[in-house]
């Protein structure tokens, strides 16, 4: 119990972990398949630049993609933290690991916000 | 405030590579490692967004870069891990979430099944949106 009370953000992070897990599961496989495998191997022809730009500039795409990116990054950070924590028995360094993981996710989410909201 | 003394009485030693001793442990750690590939996928998609935002020439450069053999290999591996994440996450959902409709519990298989259908519909929609 003493340990739990020291971690007031833990439930909130677990909630984001679940949300990010769902977002990552529903959206990422098909996008990675399209842009990482099918297009590069020539299975389908690349969409032209104008079409992709129009799709990305739609406010719904911007917000949806931003939400997916941010949540998936928090999900990944949270899971990776526990991978190091339990998988490699690095409990001693939890403070450092947690800072690096969530910090990385925050930087990624900020980059996503910049790219999707201001750089398109 | 220090922890009460009984907390420290028993501390089993765990080897660093404990998860290699059993198949199910190894699968568990592989599933946990999917986080790295989820993060990579987000980074990769954001690089695409950046390239599209910078204009047709930069977009073409991204397409050329994405066809590098090492990158295709990395993305195939990533896809396998992202799929592992998706499947294990959906299959686990009925154990984490209990849904009640009109006072009746929704069986786990139905719940997972409906998520798979949603996954299919979302994927079809995204393919249509991209390839259109």
> Domain limits of chain A?
12-118
Touching check for B18 and chain A: CB below 8 Å? yes
Please give the sequence-ordered ranges of beta strands (E in DSSP) within chain B, or none if there are none. 100-101, 104-105
B72 and A40 Cβ atoms separated by less than 8 Å: yes
CA distance A102 to chain B (A): 12
Q: Report long-range pairs for B120-124 (Cβ below 8 Å, ≥24 apart).
A: B122/A26, B122/A27, B122/A30, B123/A26, B123/A29, B123/A30
Q: Which residue has the higher pLDDT, B94 or A74?
A: A74
Touching check for A15 and chain B: CB below 8 Å? no
pLDDT digits (tens, 9 = 90+) for B6-62: 666 777 777 778 788 888 888 888 888 999 999 999 999 999 999 999 999 999 999
Q: Which residue has the higher pLDDT, B34 or A92?
A: B34
Show the 3-state SS of A41-93. CCCCCCCCHHHHHHHHHCHHHHHHHHHHHHHHHHHHHHHHHHHHHHHCCCHHH
Measured between alpha carbons, how far is A59 from B106 in angstroms, rounded to an integer? 35
B38 and B82 Cβ atoms separated by less than 8 Å: yes
Q: What is the pLDDT of residue A2?
A: 47
pLDDT digits (tens, 9 = 90+) for B63-96: 999 999 999 999 999 999 999 999 999 998 888 8
Q: What is the pLDDT of residue B4?
A: 63
Residues 39-68 of B with CB under 8 A from A: 39, 41-46, 48-50, 52-53, 55-56, 59-60, 63, 66-67
Give the ipTM.
Answer: 0.89
User: According to the CATH classification, is domain A12-118 in 1.20.1300.10?
Assistant: yes
Measured between alpha carbons, how far is A8 from A13 in angstroms, rounded to an integer? 10
């Amino acid at each position: 119990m003493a340990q739990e009370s020291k971690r007031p953000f833990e439930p909130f992070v677990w909630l984001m972990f679940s949300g990010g897990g769902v977002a990552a599961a529903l959206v990422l496989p098909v996008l990675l398949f399209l842009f990482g495998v099918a297009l590069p191997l020539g299975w389908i022809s690349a969409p032209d630049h104008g079409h992709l730009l129009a799709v990305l500039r739609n406010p719904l795409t911007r917000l949806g993609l931003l939400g997916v990116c941010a949540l998936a990054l928090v999900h990944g950070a949270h899971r990776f933290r526990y991978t190091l924590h339990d998988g490699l028995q690095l409990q001693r360094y939890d403070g450092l690991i947690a800072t690096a993981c969530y910090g990385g996710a925050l930087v990624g989410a900020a980059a996503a916000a910049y790219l999707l909201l201001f750089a398109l | 405030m220090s922890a009460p003394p009984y907390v420290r009485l028993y501390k089993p030693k765990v080897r660093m590579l404990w998860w290699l001793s059993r198949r199910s442990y190894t699968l568990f750690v592989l599933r946990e490692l999917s986080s790295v590939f989820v993060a990579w996928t987000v980074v990769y998609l954001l690089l695409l967004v950046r390239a599209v935002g910078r204009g047709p020439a930069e977009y073409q450069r991204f397409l050329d870069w994405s066809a590098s053999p090492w990158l295709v290999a990395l993305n195939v591996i990533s896809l396998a891990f992202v799929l592992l994440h998706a499947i294990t996450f959906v299959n686990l959902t009925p154990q984490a979430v209990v849904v009640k409709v009109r006072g009746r519990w929704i069986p786990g298989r139905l719940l997972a099944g409906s998520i798979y259908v949603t996954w299919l519909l979302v994927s079809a929609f995204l393919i249509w949106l991209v390839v259109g």
